[in-house]
Structure 1
Amino acid sequence: MDAWIPITIAAAFLQNLRSALQKHLRTSLGTTGASFARFGYGFPVAVLYVVALTALVGYRMPQPNLTFAVWGIIGGLAQIYATILLVHLFSLRNFAVGTAYSKTEPVQAALFGLIILGERLTAGAVAAIVVGVVGVMLISVARQRLSPGNLVRAMTSREALIGIASGAIFGISAVAYRSASLSLGGDQPIMQAAFTLACVTGFQTVYMLIWMAITDRAEIGRVARSWRSSSLVGLAGVMGSACWFTAMTLQQVAYVRALGQIELVFTFASSVFIFRERINRMEVTGCLLIVSGILLLLAWK
């Protein structure tokens, strides 16, 4: 099995765990504070990860360059705003559907990968991604009668547009991170990914601290007082990001993000067993289509 496959599945699981923790955190913090917890509490862990790879494994420290800095900043800003949109979406729809709307990302990531990096997909991979997106669309109308009109209304609703925008910005972020990591060169993808993660998370922490200091200084205090739950968000977030960065250094973004749709399987489990939210047959069918798309992707890539 290619290394990027289990790494991506681990990333999807950790991302679902982080999102579930953020949804819980949203009850005590604002959208900005709940989003900041991912970066601020994750940054020290990211630095320790780089130090451990250098001191214990013997990896060489990469040498950053201007291309790395530009792509890192683009990816960092995109991830911040995509996260804010996703956290806000959790307050509008249930956890599973809110996450599902953002999972149109693989198609958008494939487009950005083609435009920015010139990465092309096989016909089979495109078909597999489409199957997965159809599953997402079914989930979006699962609480209504399935019809073309309801599907159009569901996919153009406020919640859908926020989710699709979140997926698009996450797609931009993913392509930017792959570009930043690859710009470091060398034959140590794990170290390239870890170094990129530490630099980007540090930038995001400083950026959001300045933002909160200007717009809502009291939120900084609330984030500090919620350090127990916020630190769990940061830990899950940085571990997930380390897996995403490594997988995207090893494989094209569209493939990684398409396989990452397996997060919705974990999401539905969280929705039912943690948040006690009810799901129906249409949502289960959509979830099965997403899994089918993932299996087709692995078979046809």
Structure 2
Amino acid sequence: MTAWIAYTLAAALFQCWRTALQQRLRGELSVNAAAVVRYLYGVPVGLALLLAYGIATGDTMPSMSAWIVLLCALAGLGQIIGTNLLIMAFGHRNFAVGTAYSKTEAMQAAIIAVVFLGEHLSTLSWLGIAVGVGGVLYLSLAGRGLTAKELLKGITQPAALCGIGAGLGFAVTAILVRQANQAMPPGDLIHKALLILVVTNALQTLMQGGWLAWAEPQSVRQVFSTWRSSSRVGALSALGSACWFSAFALAPVALVRALGQVEILFTLAFSRFYLREKARPADMIGALVVVAGVVLVLIGSH
């Protein structure tokens, strides 16, 4: 197992865990406030990881130009916009369509990476990405009474457009993070990834925190009063992002995002073994398709 695979699997696991905790937090905080805690409480954890890594390796802190800071800001903004669009997709009547279309992120990331970063993928990897996206779409729609024909027909619905926009926002974030790492002076890729994480989270705290203070001043106090649960969400978010950013530094974005679709398998496992929910036949079929896509991606990456 190469390092990028381990980082991606860890990132997907942390993200699944963080999402589960954040859903519980949503009962205490508004949408914007719940997003702010990810960045605000994530900064100290990211900073601790950065300092610990530097001490362990003996490397000096990587340098960062104004251009890199701008890339970090744009990456952070892309994630904020993607998250808000996904929430908007939930708000529309046919939220299943929006959720499903947001899962096209891996394919969008692959296309953007090939066009703008010049990344090269094997035919088998492309096939794996397509199969994986198909499996995730199937899982997203399973049990919701929507057919593939209805999904395609609903592509112009507001929910679908928000979902596609959310996937694009997340894909652009991944591309910009990798671009920032590549634009920095030569050095330890993981050290640079951790620095990019800290700067990005700090800028996201300023951006969305500033919006929260202006639009929902009453929510600012709640962000701090819920620090016990919020800090856990922020810590898991930082750990997940640290793994994502490290994986982006080591491998093509398309491969990382394609493998990252195993998050939905972790979600199914959490549902089955922790919440004791009964697995549906459709879940098992979709999971097998996702696994098949991941296997094809891994074979095609070597």
* 1:207 corresponding residue in structure 2: 207
Taking structure 1 as the reference length, the TM-score comes to 0.90
2:58, 2:3 → 1: CA distance? Answer: 20
Identity %: 39
2:30, 2:76 → 1: CA distance? Answer: 20
| 1:105-164 per-position Cα deviation (integer Å, ceiling 9, x unaligned) | 110101111222111211111000000111122223312557443332566655444333
Matched, 1:247 2:263: no
* 1:48 corresponding residue in structure 2: 48
Give the superposition deviation at 1:92. Answer: 7.5
1:163, 1:271 → 2: CA distance? Answer: 23
* 1:121 corresponding residue in structure 2: 121
What is the aligned residue count? 300
* 1:178 corresponding residue in structure 2: 178
AA partner of residue 209 (structure 2): L
Matched, 1:138 2:147: no
Give the superposition deviation at 1:91. Answer: 7.3
1:89, 1:107 → 2: CA distance? Answer: 19
2:278, 2:99 → 1: CA distance? Answer: 15
Give the superposition deviation at 1:100. Answer: 5.8
Q: Does the CA contact (< 8 Å) of 2:97 and 2:151 recur in 1?
A: no
Unaligned runs of 5+ in 1: none
* 1:237 corresponding residue in structure 2: 237
- Of residues 154-163 and 30-39 in structure 1, the stretch that sits farther from structure 2 once superposed is 154-163
Give the superposition deviation at 1:263. Answer: 0.5
- Of residues 224-233 and 262-271 in structure 1, the stretch that sits farther from structure 2 once superposed is 262-271
- Of residues 111-120 and 48-57 in structure 1, the stretch that sits farther from structure 2 once superposed is 48-57
AA partner of residue 66 (structure 1): A
1:278, 1:140 → 2: CA distance? Answer: 17
Give the superposition deviation at 1:174. Answer: 0.3
* 2:193 corresponding residue in structure 1: 193
Give runs of aligned pairs for residues 236-275 of structure 1, distance below 5 A.
236-274=236-274
Give runs of aligned pairs for residues 1-301 of structure 1, distance below 5 A.
1-86=1-86, 101-144=101-144, 147-153=147-153, 158-274=158-274, 280-301=280-301
Change (3 A) 1:276 1:162: farther
Taking structure 2 as the reference length, the TM-score comes to 0.90
Change (3 A) 1:220 1:278: farther
Q: Does the CA contact (< 8 Å) of 1:140 and 1:155 recur in 2?
A: no
Give the superposition deviation at 1:275. Answer: 5.5
Give the superposition deviation at 1:66. Answer: 3.1
Q: Does the CA contact (< 8 Å) of 1:35 and 1:87 recur in 2?
A: no
Q: Does the CA contact (< 8 Å) of 1:23 and 1:87 recur in 2?
A: no
